Chains A and B, each alone.
Chain A
Amino acid sequence: MTAIQISSVEKSYKGFKALKGVSLNIEEGEFFGLLGPNGAGKTTLISTIAGLIRPDVGSIKIHGHDVVTDFREARKRLGVVPQELVFDPFFTVRETLRLQSGYFGIKNNDAWIDEVMHNLDLTNKADVNMRALSGGMKRRVLVAQALVHKPPVIVLDEPTAGVDVELRQTLWKFIARLNREGHTVVLTTHYLEEAQAMCQRVAMLKLGEVVALDTMSALLRRVSGSQLAVKLKSGDLPDGLRHLVSHDEHVNGNKYTLRVNEVSDVEPILARLRESGAVIDEMALEQADLEDIFLQVVGDKQPGGPQ
Chain B
Amino acid sequence: MNLFSVGFRTLFYKESLRFWKVATQTIAAPVVTAMLYLLIFGHVLDGRVEMLEGVSYTSFLIPGLVMMSVLQNSFANSSSSLIQSKITGNLVFILLPPLSHAEILSAYIAASILRGLAVGFGVFVVTAWFAHLTFVAPLWIIVFAFMGAAILGTMGVIAGIWAEKFDQLAAFQNFLIMPATFLAGVFYSIQKLPPFWLAVSHFNPFFYMIDGFRYGFFGKSDVSPWVSLAIVSVFLVVLAAIAINMLKRGYKLRH
- Interface residues of chain A, those whose CB is within 8 Å of chain B, are 13, 47, 50-54, 71-76, 78, 80, 82, 84, 86-91, 95, 99-107, 145, 149
Contact B98 A104 (CB under 8 A): yes
What residues on B are CB-neighbors of A87 within 8 Å?
88, 90
Contact B93 A103 (CB under 8 A): yes
Number of interface residues of B (CB under 8 A): 28
What residues on B are CB-neighbors of A101 within 8 Å?
10
What residues on B are CB-neighbors of A86 within 8 Å?
88-90, 92-93
- Give me 27 A-to-B residue pairs in the complex whose CB atoms sit less than 8 angstroms apart, sorted by A's number: A52-B92, A52-B255, A54-B254, A71-B98, A72-B98, A74-B98, A76-B98, A82-B92, A84-B89, A86-B89, A86-B90, A86-B92, A87-B88, A87-B90, A90-B22, A99-B93, A100-B93, A100-B97, A101-B10, A102-B6, A102-B9, A102-B11, A104-B98, A105-B5, A105-B6, A105-B98, A149-B97
Interface stretch (choices B12-20, B64-72, B113-121, B158-166)? B12-20
Contact A50 B96 (CB under 8 A): yes
Contact A80 B96 (CB under 8 A): yes
Contact B10 A102 (CB under 8 A): yes
Give the Cβ gap from A92 to chain B, nearest Cβ, in Å. 10
Does B94 interact with chain A (Cβ within 8 Å)? yes
Give the Cβ gap from B137 to chain A, nearest Cβ, in Å. 39
Contact B96 A75 (CB under 8 A): yes
What residues on A are CB-neighbors of B10 within 8 Å?
99, 101-103
What residues on B are CB-neighbors of A54 within 8 Å?
250, 254-255
What residues on A are CB-neighbors of B6 within 8 Å?
102, 105-107
Contact pick for B98, options A73, A82, A100, A107, CB 8 Å:
A73
Does B219 interact with chain A (Cβ within 8 Å)? no
**Alpha-carbon distance A102/B17, docked complex (angstroms):** 14
- Which residues of chain B from 1 to 37 have a CB within 8 Å of any chain A CB? 5-7, 9-11, 13-14, 17-18, 21-22
Does B100 interact with chain A (Cβ within 8 Å)? yes
Contact A51 B90 (CB under 8 A): no
Q: Which B residue's beta carbon lies closest to that of A11?
A: B255
Q: Which A residue's beta carbon lies closest to that of B250?
A: A54
Does B99 interact with chain A (Cβ within 8 Å)? yes
Does B44 interact with chain A (Cβ within 8 Å)? no
Give the Cβ gap from B193 to chain A, nearest Cβ, in Å. 43
**Alpha-carbon distance A198/B18, docked complex (angstroms):** 39
What residues on B are CB-neighbors of A82 within 8 Å?
89, 92
**Alpha-carbon distance A149/B89, docked complex (angstroms):** 21
What residues on B are CB-neighbors of A80 within 8 Å?
96
What residues on B are CB-neighbors of A74 within 8 Å?
98
Contact A53 B254 (CB under 8 A): yes
Give the Cβ gap from A158 to chain B, nearest Cβ, in Å. 15
What residues on B are CB-neighbors of A104 within 8 Å?
7, 97-98
**Alpha-carbon distance A86/B85, docked complex (angstroms):** 10
- In this complex, the member of B5, B13, B92, B96 whose beta carbon has the largest number of chain A beta carbons within 10 angstroms is B96
**Alpha-carbon distance A145/B95, docked complex (angstroms):** 13
Give the Cβ gap from A94 to chain B, nearest Cβ, in Å. 13
**Alpha-carbon distance A95/B92, docked complex (angstroms):** 16
Give the Cβ gap from A295 to chain B, nearest Cβ, in Å. 31
Contact A90 B98 (CB under 8 A): no
What residues on B are CB-neighbors of A13 within 8 Å?
255
Contact pick for A72, options B9, B100, B255, CB 8 Å:
B100
**Alpha-carbon distance A52/B93, docked complex (angstroms):** 11
What residues on A are CB-neighbors of B250 within 8 Å?
54
Contact B255 A102 (CB under 8 A): no
Q: Which A residue's beta carbon lies closest to that of B10?
A: A102
- Which residues of chain B from 170 to 225 have a CB within 8 Å of any chain A CB? none
**Alpha-carbon distance A51/B92, docked complex (angstroms):** 10
Contact A52 B96 (CB under 8 A): yes
Q: Which B residue's beta carbon lies closest to that of A146?
A: B96
Contact pick for B7, options A51, A52, A95, A105, CB 8 Å:
A105
Contact B254 A51 (CB under 8 A): yes
Give the Cβ gap from B130 to chain A, nearest Cβ, in Å. 35
Q: Which B residue's beta carbon lies closest to that of A96?
A: B93
**Alpha-carbon distance A114/B24, docked complex (angstroms):** 32
**Alpha-carbon distance A35/B11, docked complex (angstroms):** 35
- Known pairs A82-B92, A87-B90, A106-B6; list 19 more (Cβ under 8 Å): A50-B96, A52-B95, A52-B96, A54-B250, A71-B98, A73-B98, A80-B96, A88-B85, A88-B90, A90-B22, A91-B14, A99-B10, A102-B7, A102-B11, A102-B13, A103-B98, A104-B97, A104-B98, A107-B6
Give the Cβ gap from A53 to chain B, nearest Cβ, in Å. 5
What residues on B are CB-neighbors of A71 within 8 Å?
98
- In this complex, the member of A50, A78, A82, A99 whose beta carbon has the largest number of chain B beta carbons within 10 angstroms is A99
What residues on A are CB-neighbors of B90 within 8 Å?
86-88
What residues on B are CB-neighbors of A88 within 8 Å?
85, 88, 90, 93
